[in-house]
Structures are given as C-alpha cells and as structure tokens.
Structure 1
Amino acid sequence: MCDDIPQHIAHLTSVHSRYDTRIFRKLCNSLADAGYAVSLVVADGKGDERCSNGVRIVDAGRSTGRLRRMIEATRRVGARARELNADLYHLHDPELMPLGLALKRRGKRVVFDFHEDVPKQLLSKPYLNPWMLHVISAIFARYEKRAAGKLDAVIGATPIITEKFRGKAKRLANINNFPRLGELESTLPSGEKANEVAYVGGISETRGILPLVRSLERTKSDVRLNLAGKFESSSFEQVLKSSEGWQSVNELGFLDREGVRDLLSRSILGVVTLLPTPAYLDALPVKMFEYMSAGIPVIASDFPLWREIIVGHDCGLCVDPEDPDAIAAAIDALVSDRERAEQMGRNGRRAVHEIFNWSIEERKLLQLYTDILA
C-alpha cells in the first residue's frame, strides 16, 4: 500500500445496519486501523456520515418491503458504489451478487462475503411452498458457486460455508464472526448477580424463543429472562406475549454494544437455543461466543458442532432446543450452582482468548487483502 495515497476499500450492503457488528465494527474497523481508506455503502435512509474511526458511510437511501429492497436498494447501492471508484469492493448480501459480477466486468477487484448458507436458509423460508423452496435453493446453490469463480475472492463466515467454495473460488478465506477481545468482558462475580439469564439477538420462531419463554414457567429458581432484540414479526410477538412464561420476561428491545455489555454483566448465563433448521445446524452463532467472551456460561442447542465447542471447553450445557423442560433443567442447574457457573464462564472466556477471537480472524482478513491488492 502506498504511504501517501491509501488504497480505497468499499464495503457494500443493502440489508445490514450501518453499525453491523461484523461489517462495521470488525471488518471496516480493522481495515481502517491498517491504513486503508474505507467506505461503507448502506441503504437505510439515515444520510451520509464520517465516523470517528475514519470510516465513511455512504447512504443509498431506504426502500420498504422485501421486493422493493431487492430491486431498488440494490440498484441504488450499485450507483453509489460506482461513484466511489474504489480499489476493492467487498459485498455482503446475496442480492448484490449480480452487482459484484458487473463490477468485476469493469475490471474492479471484488470480494464476496457469505455470512449465511443461503441455499440452506432458503429451505426455512415460510412464505413459499416446500417444492418451490427446494427448486430455488438448488438453483441458487449452482449460481453462487459459478459466480464465486469469477470474483477475486470468497469469504465464508463459518468453516462449513467456506468449504462449499473449495475448488470454485480463486481465493478462499474462512473469517469467523468471533468477538473482539475485551469488548464485552465483565468482572462482576456470579454470586453478586440477580437470578437473571440473557438472550440477545433476533426474536423469531426459528430462534427457539417460544420454548425458551415457556421454560420459565418450569424453572424452580424464580429466574427472569432478559430478552434483548427486535421481533421478526408482529404476529410472533403476539404469540410470544400470550404464552406461558412471558410474565417472567424483561423485554428490553434492541440494545447497542454498551447495552449488551451491561446486560451480560448482570446475567448469570446466556441462552442460544436455535431450532434445528438446515441453516442453523452448521452455523456458528456470534452470540454464543459473545456470551463466552463476557465470562458467562452458555445454554446452547445440542447440535454436534456446538456440542464440540460447549462441552469440549466445559463452558456451558447443551439441550434439546424444542424441549422447555430440558431448557428449564439446564437453567436451574447453573442458577443454583453459582460456583459451577462461574467456572464455566472462566472456561469460555479462556477459549475466546486462545481461539475464538477477532484478532486471529483480522490477520486472515488483512493477508487476503494484501494478496488481492499486491
């Protein structure tokens, strides 16, 4: 990279928040710290912004509705992206793949970042019939692999997503969405905490929130759930608020990073009991590692990959995410044994410091950019 004129990187998203944890707080921050000029094109209608970390946010304007977002927002993001004339474009949403190919045809360097296994995710969509879902999933699986080979690099947010593109992508990197060291750490001893457990993230049926809330009626430890996040739909919100156990929920809404840190500092444990959908079985949920980073034990879905991490590092318990009784028993086991909970929390934090942290992933990111821009 030239000392006088830093190379310009543009991250593009039509879906994610401008302060998205992976895109803005990790990728863009790391690149700005490394000396790149970084722009982030978003589509939220909140206006352009120059951030204290040096990242320039460029707003393409907001669209309402799924279809309009996919068509109008994608077109506007593309227009703002071309105006930037960046040295490298890093894209984050499936609907931006055609834009990535168009930028590549113009001679630009393009990286595509797969946050999710999109073909598997499509199989869980409720608004199409099962036959149509399988057809669309299969078509997209072929399309994404063919398109990947035309770009400069592909990034996968989990090892399993990354391996799908082995032999297809020119360059391939697994950059996991692990937490930044120290961001969420707390020193409050478990014995000084109230009987509160935490869930942070999207609030939807597939994320296992209904069995979790129902488990509160079955606990023996008079525990309350700190529920932080946005509801996926008003219909599910009504279902959840009328279910047994809701009277034991502290509804907190969306929290910023400081709010999340404060929440985890006062909670005995964190829960991530996603349901066994095709998209989640092989996922690595960032909240699981954030709970570990905060030094609290995790109650997680009993999926093979998650069990390997949670049980392997003795940092929590794995349960059937569809069984409220099993979730309640796990909550009681840790709430009633604060010494065990605190030791599991220390084990999880140690695992994050040694293995599951952003500093390691950052080095892989910077090396990939160096290879592409050399």
Structure 2
Amino acid sequence: MKICHLTSVHSAMDTRILIKECQSLQKAGHEVVYIVPNAEDSVQFGVQIKGVSSTASNRLKRMVNTTSLVYEEAIRQDADVYHFHDSELIPIGLKLKSKGKKVIYDVHEDLPEQILSKQWIPGPLRRSVAIGARSLEKYASKRFDAVVTATPYINERFKTYNDNSLTIHNYPLLQELMNGNVQSEQADSIKDSDKKRVVYLGGIYLLRGIKEMIQSVERVNDKHNVEFRLGGSFAPASLENEVKKMSGWKHVNFLGFLNRQQVKDELSQANAGLVLLHPEPRFVVSYPIKLFEYMSAGLPVIASNFPLWEDIVRENECGICVDPNNIEEIAKAIESILNNPEKAVEMGRNGRKAVENRYNWEKESERLIELYERIS
C-alpha cells in the first residue's frame, strides 16, 4: 500500500510518528510518505518526508492555513491509507474519507481533558470547548476506518465510537537507548564518582514538576554532591527565566534540546531518572514515554505515585514512587538510590528486563501492521 502520515503540529523527526510508526510500516513493505510543516523534502529511514511551507504565526492561523496546505499535499500524494496525528486535522480526515480513502485517526492525548487545562483558552469557555471537542471526535471517529490511541484509558472512549479502535503504546525501541555511545567503563566511572547525576529529559513545564525537581536536588545537596542534568525546551519560554532565579538552579546543568544520541549518552551516565508529573487528570491515566525510556536505559526511576505508574514500578521493582508535590519525599527517594548503589543497579536491570519482555515498540509495531492489513 501507499501510506501517508499527516501532521500540522509535530516535527519531521517525531519519534512516535516517523521513527516508530512510519519506519515500521516501511520495513513491512509499504511505501510511506510523511507530510509535515516546514521540513525539507528528504528520505529518512526509508520514509519520504514531504514538507509544506507554513508561515502560520499562531494557533488559529496554523489550524486554518497549515491544515489546508497539509490537505493539498495529501491529495497530491493519492495514497491508499491516510493516518493523521492531530485533532485539528479531523476535518481533513473527513474530507479524505469522502473521497473514498481509508483514514486512521491517531489520538496521542485525551483532547477534552487536555482542553480543560489549556491556559490559552479562557477559563469560562473551557468546559464548553471540551464538550464540543468530544462531540466532534465522536462524530468523526464513527466514520474513520480505524482509531489508534496512545493509552487504554483513551481507548475506552473511542471503542464506543468505533469497533476498530485499539491502543498502540508509545513504548521505546529495544536497542535505541541501551548503553548509548559512551563506553560502559566511562559511564561506570561517572556513576562511581563523588558527584552524582539525576536526570530529566523532556518538555519542561510547571505541571511536569520542574520546580519540585530543582528544589529536591537542592535539598539532597545538603548531604550529597548531586548534579541535576536537565534536557529539553521550556514552555512557555518565560519559565526558563523564572526557574533560573531559584536558589537550587546552581545545581542544574541545563543542556537544552537533545537529539536521540545525546539522550542515550545522558541516560547512560545518570544515577536516576525523574518523571514527576503533577496529578492532573490527563497525566494520572497516561503512560509516560520517559518512564519507559529510563527503564530501557537501565536507569532506576523516581516517578509520581499515580496508581497506574505505581503498578508498573512496583511490579517490576525498578524504582521508587513519590508524591510529586512533596519535596521532602522526592529528596528522600533520590538519597535512597544514591545511598544504595547495589539496589539501584538491581532496579535498573529489572527495568531493562521489563522493557525487553513487555514494554517495547517491537511488540506494538506488530499490532499496528496487523491493523493496516485488516483495513486494506
């Protein structure tokens, strides 16, 4: 088949879309095109990247202008199956369906729940907008050939709209984060040195616990020499200046945006990985990719004590769960890992073993390929 993946929001090198889904379908023998805004035409991992030039300067312009450009290019590609990744492309998906095309909606986030916490939407309007979004997804999903969801929680809603709805978890690739390109001897010497490292790599937001992480590392430094390795981009940009004024910033090594190779290197040299999202409704039922990436790299995790996450961490004995708003509890968890290096190594091995046995993309990709065979 000729398969076309569409986005108006994500990047050309998006891990879930390009590196996992598109590449898996290409390896299964399909011709795969990925349409993405403001990217150069190229071939990556055997997938054709087709860029559309967008000058949209805000969300509204993107939702109108960029989506139109994506649709025009989609029509030019004349694919057999269209697989889109953004809720703002739902009208485009319906247009493609009206032309007799096979269409798959890939739901990365619970849109109605997400809207309820969007600061750019006026508070009094959020509930009405969320209800409208839910109605649109229900109407459209009944007409699409399939719906792919990132979590079982999201799938519970969509399977009531479309029988051909299934969860494809965003688990890590088995070999991607194992060891990195840092020699194991070098990584071990770093971990055994007086200065310890805890790491967070990902989107840097208030709700993802950036202030609590900085404060906990500051507290741990009363007893240990600990560096907080922070990688990613701040949102909003003003948050960077805000957190740099915190007294604990002196213990932070801000790395900025990291490519995948740099992510490997950082994880291979760290003593523990932090994933401390606040207890927002959409986070509590999520499967955070960072948790599984830390596990894949053989790194002990310190994670929010949401029931879903606790089940994973405790069952696999791969880390410690804490109240993400409790600085003292987070600090004690970091200290526990630093004070018990043999136990930390065991946690890391347990996490890696769990990824090898269950939480890996290779198993998920089989289900994605089966879905395409089913709707063809």
Q: Which bracket does the TM-score occupy, shorter chain normalised?
A: over 0.9
Q: 2:46 aligns with which of 47, 54, 77?
A: 54
Q: Is the 8 A contact 1:9 1:87 kept in 2?
A: yes
Confirm whether residue 95 of structure 1 aligns to residue 88 of structure 2: yes
Confirm whether residue 362 of structure 1 aligns to residue 365 of structure 2: yes
- Which secondary structure state, in structure 1, belongs to the residue aligned with residue 135 of structure 2? helix
Per the alignment, residue 280 of structure 1 pairs with 283
Q: Is the 8 A contact 2:7 2:85 kept in 1?
A: yes
CA distance in structure 1 between the aligned counterparts of 2:246 and 2:140, rounded to whole angstroms: 45
CA distance in structure 1 between the aligned counterparts of 2:372 and 2:224, rounded to whole angstroms: 51
CA distance in structure 1 between the aligned counterparts of 2:310 and 2:51, rounded to whole angstroms: 41
- Of residues 25-34 and 228-237 in structure 1, the stretch that sits farther from structure 2 once superposed is 228-237
Q: Is the 8 A contact 1:213 1:249 kept in 2?
A: yes
CA distance in structure 1 between the aligned counterparts of 2:263 and 2:364, rounded to whole angstroms: 22
Alignment of 1:263-278 (within 5 A): 263-278=266-281
Aligned letter for 2:343? R
Q: Is the 8 A contact 1:151 1:170 kept in 2?
A: no
- Of residues 250-259 and 135-144 in structure 1, the stretch that sits farther from structure 2 once superposed is 135-144
- Which secondary structure state, in structure 2, belongs to the residue aligned with residue 356 of structure 1? coil
Q: Is the 8 A contact 1:152 1:170 kept in 2?
A: no
- Which secondary structure state, in structure 1, belongs to the residue aligned with residue 200 of structure 2? strand
Per the alignment, residue 192 of structure 2 pairs with 192
**What's the RMSD between the two structures over aligned residues?**
1.2
Q: CA deviation at 1:148?
A: 0.5
- Of residues 257-266 and 159-168 in structure 1, the stretch that sits farther from structure 2 once superposed is 159-168
Deviation sequence 1:287-307 (CA, Å, 0-9, x none): 110000000011111111011
Q: CA deviation at 1:192?
A: 3.4
Q: Structure 2 length normalisation: TM-score? A: 0.95
CA distance in structure 2 between the aligned counterparts of 1:275 and 1:354, rounded to whole angstroms: 29
Aligned letter for 2:81? L
CA distance in structure 2 between the aligned counterparts of 1:145 and 1:281, rounded to whole angstroms: 23
Q: Is the 8 A contact 1:185 1:293 kept in 2?
A: yes
Q: CA deviation at 1:256?
A: 0.7
Alignment of 1:187-336 (within 5 A): 187=184, 188-189=187-188, 191-192=191-192, 194-219=195-220, 220-336=223-339
Q: Structure 1 length normalisation: TM-score? A: 0.95
Q: CA deviation at 1:347?
A: 0.6
Deviation sequence 1:55-113 (CA, Å, 0-9, x none): 10011113222221111111101111110000000000010011001100000000000
Q: Is the 8 A contact 1:155 1:173 kept in 2?
A: yes
- Which secondary structure state, in structure 1, belongs to the residue aligned with residue 229 of structure 2? strand
- Of residues 69-78 and 285-294 in structure 1, the stretch that sits farther from structure 2 once superposed is 69-78
Per the alignment, residue 70 of structure 2 pairs with 77
Q: CA deviation at 1:323?
A: 1.7
- Which secondary structure state, in structure 2, belongs to the residue aligned with residue 237 of structure 1? helix
Aligned letter for 1:241? K
Deviation sequence 1:173-212 (CA, Å, 0-9, x none): 2100000101101254485365001101001111111111
Which residues of structure 1 form unaligned runs of 5+?
A: 1-6
Q: 2:15 aligns with which of 5, 16, 21?
A: 21
Q: CA deviation at 1:130?
A: 3.0
CA distance in structure 1 between the aligned counterparts of 2:119 and 2:215, rounded to whole angstroms: 23
Deviation sequence 1:14-51 (CA, Å, 0-9, x none): 100100010000001101111100000001x2321122
- Which secondary structure state, in structure 1, belongs to the residue aligned with residue 316 of structure 2? coil
CA distance in structure 2 between the aligned counterparts of 1:227 and 1:315, rounded to whole angstroms: 21
Q: Is the 8 A contact 1:123 1:278 kept in 2?
A: no
Q: CA deviation at 1:269?
A: 0.9
Q: Is the 8 A contact 2:12 2:39 kept in 1?
A: no
Aligned letter for 2:51? D
Confirm whether residue 42 of structure 1 aligns to residue 45 of structure 2: no
